[in-house]
Amino acid sequence: MVRTVVPVGLAVVLAVVGVLHFVWAFSPWPLKDEVAFTRAIGGGDDGVMPSALSAIVVGLALVGGAVLTLMVNESIPGVGPGWLRLVGMYGLTVALLGRGLGGYLLNSGAVVEFRRLNSVLYSPLCVVLGVLGGIVAVAASKRY
């Protein structure tokens, strides 16, 4: 299961969330407008969307994390030295856990919609993804 379900599940979720960030570079979809988007996703109510560049960078990082997960798991051919991919996997794990656990600090001063979604969806999802990333990293460490 560690070699199949965990890394593929992690990679799929990272890729989907990454693609959502690409969409958000140009649209507030699936929300109706920019104000609804910033209230639910950004934590404010000013209706100012994040810059397209920042959304694309986050999207690339998430899709890159999905690809890295599959390379570390040896599901797809790896690029570069194995130890560097492994360091990257541990880095991804730390980043996801940091966003998940530290994400609750983002609730301070945020609008109600964001606080609710961050508390029940965004932060817990990041914690789960971080734990899955840690499982992939530790399993790969035993192979290297």
Give me the domain span that covers residue 132: 5-143
Flag whether pLDDT at 137 surpasses 90.
yes
Flag whether pLDDT at 43 surpasses 80.
no
Flag whether pLDDT at 85 surpasses 70.
yes
**DSSP category for residue 111:** -
pLDDT band at 144 (very low <50, low <70, confident <90, very high): confident
Q: Return the pLDDT at 2.
A: 66
Measured CA to CA, the distance from residue 144 to residue 135 in angstroms comes to: 15
Read off the pLDDT of each residue in 81-107 and give the average, rounded to a whole number.
95
Tell me the HSE value of 116 on the side-chain side, using a 13 A CA sphere: 5
**46 vs 124: which has the higher pLDDT:** 124
- % the chain with pLDDT above 70: 99
Global pTM? Answer: 0.92
Task: Say how many domains are in the chain.
Answer: 1
| CB contact at 8 A, 36 and 28 | yes
Flag whether pLDDT at 47 surpasses 90.
no
Positive or negative CA dihedral for 110, 112, 115, 118? negative
